[in-house]
Structure 1
Amino acid sequence: MKIVKVSNLIQPNGTTDYKGLDLEKIVPGSQLYPDDNTAYFFYTGNVVEHVDVTVITEEEYNAKKKEIKSKAPLSYDERLELIQKAIDDLVLGGM
């Protein structure tokens, strides 16, 4: 199994272009879609040679995953917790 980065994923006409990779061979749940028109995923097939397809290391994949997670919006529960803390600080003086 390899970890693949596909650049220029979204074409100008709005369609996705996986550069000839077999979508059935993408490991479900491994896909990362950052905001830079790329896709990262684990792939079980043969990787085609293409200028926009790169085999990357697990370290690179994990770094991108961490970067995406750090930019993700807070969950509903996380936001509620922060709101409750702010209310407690205002009402109870930080107790």
Structure 2
Amino acid sequence: MQGIKIINLLPEGGGVCDYKGLDIDKFVPGSQIYPPNERTCYVITNQDSIPDNKDIIVITTDKYEEARQKYVVNPERVPTLEEQQKQIDSLQTTVLGIMEQIAGGAAK
């Protein structure tokens, strides 16, 4: 078994996954990690001969585990729309305050 990182898994703009000649039937079931908003896949495979492709990177078990921790075990939570709006409102208030200080209290 070995860890693999596949980059450029999807064409820019989306489309069909290109596993670069890897035999997906040799993937350890459930080991695939697809990071959000990336065109990358991490996987453990039982395939003996890995195709020579610049988009296939053999990784250590530690690197695979780092990806699993980051994207599966403790994924970064995307703020809700309500939380994002609160951040925007807070930033707008801050910017208006700075503009008032610069303009001598004239900005509204």
Taking structure 2 as the reference length, what is the TM-score of the superposition?
A: 0.62
Deviation, 1:70, is 1.9
Instruction: Read off the aligned partner of 2:74 and give its amino acid letter.
Output: S
Once superposed, what is the RMSD of the aligned Cα atoms?
Answer: 1.4
Partner of 1:27: 28
Mapping of residues 64-83 of structure 1, within 5 Å: 64-68=67-71, 69-71=73-75
Pair 1:11-2:15 in alignment? no
Q: Note the C-alpha offset of 1:32.
A: 0.7
Identity fraction in percent:
36
Q: State the number of aligned residues.
A: 73
Tell me which stretches of 4 or more aligned residues in structure 1 moved more than 6 Å: none
The separation in 2 between residues aligned to 1:72 and 1:24, in whole angstroms, is 30
| 1:11 Cα offset (Å) | 1.4
Q: Are 1:55 and 2:58 an aligned pair?
A: yes
Cα distance, 1:72 vs structure 2: 5.5
In structure 2, what is the Cα distance between the partners aligned to 1:15 and 1:29?
A: 20
Is there any run of 5+ residues in structure 2 with no aligned partner, and where? 78-108
Shift of 1:31: 0.7
CA distance in structure 2 between the aligned counterparts of 1:61 and 1:44, rounded to whole angstroms: 15
In structure 1, runs of 5+ residues without a counterpart are 74-95
Which structure: larger Rg? Answer: 2
Distance in 2 between the 1:17 and 1:50 partners? Answer: 12
What is the one-letter code of the residue matched to 2:9? L
TM-score, L = length of structure 1: 0.70
Structure-1 residue corresponding to 2:101: none
Following TM superposition, by how much is the alpha carbon of 1:23 offset from its aligned partner in structure 2, in angstroms?
1.1
Query: Residue 71 of structure 1: CA displacement?
Result: 2.0
C-alpha distance in 1, partners of 2:22/2:7? 13
